[in-house]
Structure 1
């Protein structure tokens, strides 16, 4: 699933490609992707004539800001956007097409059909799901070691599931949570409430650094991720534990292990990330 660095990369690319374009009409080939309004026909009607002014991001969500509407889009597992000329053939995995008035179209392609789109009146998106319960952005002043400590103290869960929840901090998924915990030398099964303040400060720094480096490198292309120009990311070349089961730890040489934590495949170094007794 695209995480913050991948979504940020898509956002930046879309801002280079589609700003100022006006929607002529919307073609919806798989209505279940449209979650708000529930009537896909109403969605298409509301979008017609709207000009796109900016593409933003909140956590893992893209925000398409039009004249009077904001489209909140979640790519989920394999969703992607691509700008094409109208005469380019449409493949069977393209499910929503925004036909612009300049003979181009923004096409939403999703092999698994897990992506979602919510349409709001401008300003309304912050007061409703899926955005209203999200935690702080990792690069903002509102995300600090102190705010992370508060989230840790309020939960009985292990640290990895807590970080995946999106309420302590947004944007982390399976890849970058594993990488940040490795940098911080914290075992993923450690109860969040048991972390000391020095550990939390180290984890906070690891989260910010990991995500920041990944953004600079265009995200990670593990399976199918590409940006809206069709370019892959490069951060996978710097992954230290994720996807490296059985390979030597880059820090100590111990074989990387993979376990299930909260139902998610989780990579860690058993020597560098020791699960302390009682946790």
Structure 2
């Protein structure tokens, strides 16, 4: 699933491509992936800017409306040139001035989109309950938020109501960087160590954004390009390979319902 750096990269690329452009026509949409609003209201609207909240991609329109996409596992939003063939699993096509097309595709159909007015999106329970943005908070504030709950630290990092936008990749990488075992109870981790974890998380997120995100299989940015941060992974997806710090074989186990790769020697269990 695209996480914060991947969706941020898509948002920045789309903003460059579509800001100020008017939607001429909605050519196609799949009703089953529509969560709110009426695509028939989109023609005539102008795209004012594109942003991200958590793992949501937000295309803002004049008159305060917002076209929101959740990409889930395999969703993509990109701009196709005139005459370019549509992918097989295309679920929304918005033709723009100049005849470029804003495309939403998703092979598995887990992703979805909705059209929300300014009050509607704030009233959406999923949006309402999102936690703070990791890059818009201090490491100290994030550390206090993690320590306030009696739950596993990996579970809390993945919980979108605690921190917004973090998934398995960046949870595993930041826990390794801070040398914290993913099965640790957050409240048992000393405050200074939690601050270190959140500082490492912020550093890794910024580095991943600079690298265009991580491409494991399906992720592409707004230009159709892969990210390269996967080349910098220290532990994610590297079960059995030597730990980059001590050389011991990395271990993978199910923690918080996800495969968690870690070093049993370097990462302390609290």
- Per the TM superposition, whether the score is higher than 0.5 is yes
TM-score (norm 1): 0.92
Contact 1:81 1:108 in 2 (8 A): yes
Aligned residue among 257, 264, 274 for 2:258:
264
Correspondence for 1:219: 213
Q: Take 2:186 and 2:110, find their aligned partners in 1: how far apart are those partners? A: 30
Is 1:5 matched with 2:1? Answer: no
Aligned residue among 113, 135, 159 for 2:153:
159
* CA shift in 2, pair 1:234/1:147, >3 Å: closer
1:123 shift after superposition: 4.9
The unaligned stretches of length 5 or more in structure 1 are 38-42
Q: Take 2:58 and 2:112, find their aligned partners in 1: how far apart are those partners? A: 12
Contact 1:137 1:143 in 2 (8 A): no
Q: Take 1:27 and 1:148, find their aligned partners in 2: how far apart are those partners? A: 47
Correspondence for 1:97: 93
TM-score (norm 2): 0.95
Report the count of equivalent residues: 269
CA deviations on 1:70-103 (whole Å, 9 max, x unpaired) are 1121111111122123322222111111122321
Cα RMSD over matched residues? Answer: 1.5
Further displaced range: 17-26 or 53-62? 17-26
Greater than 6 Å deviation, 4+ residue runs = none
1:159 shift after superposition: 0.6
Is 1:46 matched with 2:28? Answer: no
Q: Take 2:172 and 2:72, find their aligned partners in 1: how far apart are those partners? A: 19
Correspondence for 1:86: 82
Aligned residue among 129, 133, 138 for 1:133:
129
CA deviations on 1:108-136 (whole Å, 9 max, x unpaired) are 11111111212111354234233211111
* CA shift in 2, pair 1:223/1:162, >3 Å: same
Contact 1:143 1:169 in 2 (8 A): no
The unaligned stretches of length 5 or more in structure 2 are none
